[in-house]
Amino acid sequence: MAAGDTEPRRTPADIEAEINREQRRLAETIDELVVQAKPANIARRQINRVKEKGGRLVDEARALVIGGGAVRVESHLVEPREGSILLKGDDEVVTTYQSRGRLPPEAMILAVGVGAVIAVGVVALIVRRRRA
């Protein structure tokens, strides 16, 4: 040891062992990235995301129409854990819901009226296209 050195010198075997550990760690990280980047896995994540968002929209629509259930109040992104690997679009969203009371009768009548107008319009459009 030199006069200014306070740490013991590393042997070539120690350095080689450290290099091997780092190579294994990097290989595991690359394997994880390969699995996450497979088109089938990306598609599966996107399908699950669409199902989740669609389910939320259906729940919110149902809550607006029948007056029960819950309505989304607020959503925010959750920061990933330190050292985690996220691909674009893999953000985690936390949503807060609030239960609703029943809608007033006027809102129900309006919703039924709008639905009836839309249904009549669709039927008229179909009949018109068949005649043409």
pLDDT tens, residue by residue, 100-132: 566 667 877 888 899 999 999 999 999 988 887
CB-based contacts of 49: which residues, under 8 Å, 6+ apart? 89
In a domain, 3, yes or no: no
The contacts of residue 22 (CB under 8 Å, 6+ apart) are none
Q: What is residue 19's predicted lDDT score, i.e. its pLDDT?
A: 94
Q: Are residues 62 and 47 in the same domain?
A: yes
Q: CA 54 to CA 63: how far, in whole Å?
A: 14
Task: Determine the structural domain holding residue 49 and report its residue range.
Answer: 12-102
Q: For residue 51, what are the β-bridge partners?
A: none
pLDDT score, position 20: 94
Domain co-membership, 107 together with 54: no
Amino acid at 103: L
Is residue 103 within 8 A of residue 64, CB to CB? The reply is: yes
Is residue 70 within 8 Å of residue 59, measured between CB atoms? yes
Q: What is the per-residue pLDDT for 17? A: 93
Find all residues with CB under 8 Å of 103, minimum gap 6, and list them: 64, 66, 67, 111
The answer to whether residue 131 is domain-embedded is: yes
**pLDDT band per the 50, 70, 90 thresholds, residue 64:** low
Q: 3-state class of 72 per DSSP?
A: strand
What is the predicted pLDDT for the residue at 103?
64
- Report how far residue 105's alpha carbon sits from residue 125's, in angstroms, rounded to the nearest whole number: 30
- Tell me, yes or no, whether 24 and 74 share the same domain: yes
